[in-house]
């Protein structure tokens, strides 16, 4: 699926956090994006909504999208819970009717939806349910305890705090330094970007850690450093279980804590995000009975702050935690990479 030209459905939601999958593909692989479908922003460029993405057009419908020669519709929004809104069903069927393949990161498996399946078969197009889990033949074995190689995990104060982005940026930076590093994709956006991996949040509970273990082992086969994309947060009421499974599954020696400084509480829940120092202690404590791991750096997501405010937040986080802090999207990954003491 990697080489496909995508029309990305982001209806009503095109934005850095509101359409995370769409935004990440546009940021890192713009050459794959033919256009974005969002009728509420049609006619504007992607740049106007995201602050990047250049001249990628935004259109109102599949009918308009086909003018830009996509060969695949990517459902690029991940609503809470992941189900298919009824309004999007029509768009998916239109895309199938126009001969496009479908890629979707929803929890609802489009390939198992009778109407969509029938339409796809009739049109001879394929459906890629990115989140479809592969259930392994057993549970985690703790195989990473005696590994060769480094495992670095991004962890977060919340969902959508920058875990995938920091991991992805870091691997790109390391590779540029001649370090054999591999990005380990554990969510639908990471899988889309990298063309391998598994969305662990769809895997049955007992097998989550094993899936992460397998992916990490695979990454270390060809690389000296595996940088695992973390999921959720230990303090997120809905997703914390996935977070802990990733943490215990990949057995990291080092963690990078990701946070958006402007966020005060977990969205949709009345949970206040604790001070970074407490979060660092929580993540380190959660590992301790199994293995030693330390948070080595803080990755901030300051996309919604001006330059001065962003710099002030970096200074504040360093002061509070005593850890090297940076926003890799804004200022690059050098500082965070240095804190990890990984050499080529």
Q: Which is nearest to 102 in space by CA: 123, 78, 126? A: 126
Count, residues near a copy of itself per rule CB under 8 A:
53
| 26/11 Cα distance (integer angstroms) | 15
Q: Contact region for a copy of itself (CB under 8 A) — 17-25, 95-103, 255-263, 280-288?
A: 280-288
Integer angstrom CA distances of residue 95 from 192, 249, 272, 310: 19, 38, 42, 41
Of 48, 122, 176, 290, the one binding a copy of itself (CB under 8 A) is: 290
| 314/195 Cα distance (integer angstroms) | 33
Of 115, 121, 206, 267, the one binding a copy of itself (CB under 8 A) is: 206
Q: Which is nearest to 77 in space by CA: 57, 56, 92? A: 92
Could you say whether residue 217 binds a copy of itself (CB under 8 A)?
no
Give the up-direction half-sphere exposure of residue 60: CA atoms within 13 A in the CB hemisphere. 4
Element (H, E) at 104: strand 101-104
Identify any residues that bridge with 257 across adjacent strands, giving them in sequence order.
155, 298
Of 81, 178, 222, 343, the one binding a copy of itself (CB under 8 A) is: 81
Residue 120 zone, left/alpha/beta (φ > 0; ψ -120 to 50; rest): alpha
Q: Contact region for a copy of itself (CB under 8 A) — 129-137, 188-196, 255-263, 306-314?
A: 129-137
Could you say whether residue 296 binds a copy of itself (CB under 8 A)?
no
Q: Contact region for a copy of itself (CB under 8 A) — 93-101, 172-180, 222-230, 286-294?
A: 286-294
Q: Which of residues 177 and 272 has its CB atom nearest to a copy of itself in the complex?
A: 272
Please provide residue 272's backbone torsions phi and psi, each rounded to the nearest 5 degrees.
-80, 135
Could you say whether residue 286 binds a copy of itself (CB under 8 A)?
yes
| 206/260 Cα distance (integer angstroms) | 31
Task: Classify 100 as helix, strand or coil.
Answer: coil
DSSP state of 45: B
Q: Which of residues 69 and 141 has its CB atom nearest to a copy of itself in the complex?
A: 141
Q: Please state the closest distance from residue 235 (CB atom) to a copy of itself, in A.
A: 4
Could you say whether residue 308 binds a copy of itself (CB under 8 A)?
no
- Residue 58, both tokens: 């935004």
Q: Which of residues 94 and 214 has its CB atom nearest to a copy of itself in the complex?
A: 214
Of 48, 83, 315, 334, the one binding a copy of itself (CB under 8 A) is: 83
Of 262, 267, 272, 334, the one binding a copy of itself (CB under 8 A) is: 272
Integer angstrom CA distances of residue 257 from 78, 106, 166, 231: 23, 26, 10, 12
Q: Which of residues 205 and 343 has its CB atom nearest to a copy of itself in the complex?
A: 205
Q: Please state the closest distance from residue 84 (CB atom) to a copy of itself, in A.
A: 11
What does the chain come to in residues? 344
Q: Please state the closest distance from residue 240 (CB atom) to a copy of itself, in A.
A: 5
Please report, as ranges, the residues that interact with a copy of itself according to CB under 8 A. 80-83, 107, 133, 135, 137-142, 145, 200-210, 234-246, 248-249, 268-274, 278, 282, 285-286, 289-290
């Amino acid at each position: 699926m990697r080489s496909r030209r995508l029309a990305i459905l982001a209806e009503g939601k095109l934005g850095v956090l509101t359409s995370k999958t769409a935004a990440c593909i546009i940021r890192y692989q713009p050459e794959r994006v033919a256009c974005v479908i969002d009728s509420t922003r049609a006619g504007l460029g992607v740049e106007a909504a995201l602050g990047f993405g250049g001249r990628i057009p935004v259109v109102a419908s599949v009918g308009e999208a086909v003018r830009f020669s996509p060969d695949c519709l990517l459902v690029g929004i991940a609503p809470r819970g992941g189900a298919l809104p009824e309004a999007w069903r029509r768009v998916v069927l239109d895309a199938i009717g126009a001969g496009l393949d479908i890629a979707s990161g929803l929890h609802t498996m489009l390939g198992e939806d009778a109407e969509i399946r029938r339409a796809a078969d009739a049109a001879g197009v394929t459906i890629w349910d990115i989140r479809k889990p592969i259930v392994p033949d057993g549970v985690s074995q703790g195989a990473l305890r005696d590994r060769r190689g480094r495992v670095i995990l991004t962890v977060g104060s919340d969902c959508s705090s920058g875990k995938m982005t920091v991991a992805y940026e870091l691997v790109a930076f390391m590779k540029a330094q001649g370090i054999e590093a591999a990005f380990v994709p554990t969510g639908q956006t990471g899988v889309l970007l990298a063309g391998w991996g598994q969305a662990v949040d769809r895997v049955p509970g007992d097998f989550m850690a094993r899936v992460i273990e397998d992916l990490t082992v695979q990454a270390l086969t060809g690389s000296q450093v595996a940088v695992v994309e973390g999921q959720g947060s230990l303090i997120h009421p809905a997703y914390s279980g996935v977070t802990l499974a990733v943490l215990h599954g990949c057995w990291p020696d080092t963690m990078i804590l990701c946070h958006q400084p402007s966020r005060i509480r977990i969205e949709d829940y009345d949970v206040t995000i604790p001070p970074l120092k407490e979060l660092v202690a929580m993540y380190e404590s959660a590992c301790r009975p199994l293995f030693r791991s330390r948070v080595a750096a803080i990755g901030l997501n300051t996309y919604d702050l001006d330059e001065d405010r962003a710099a002030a937040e970096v200074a504040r986080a360093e002061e509070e935690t005593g850890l090297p802090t940076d926003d890799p999207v804004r200022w690059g990954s050098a500082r965070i990479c240095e804190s990890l003491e990984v050499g080529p």
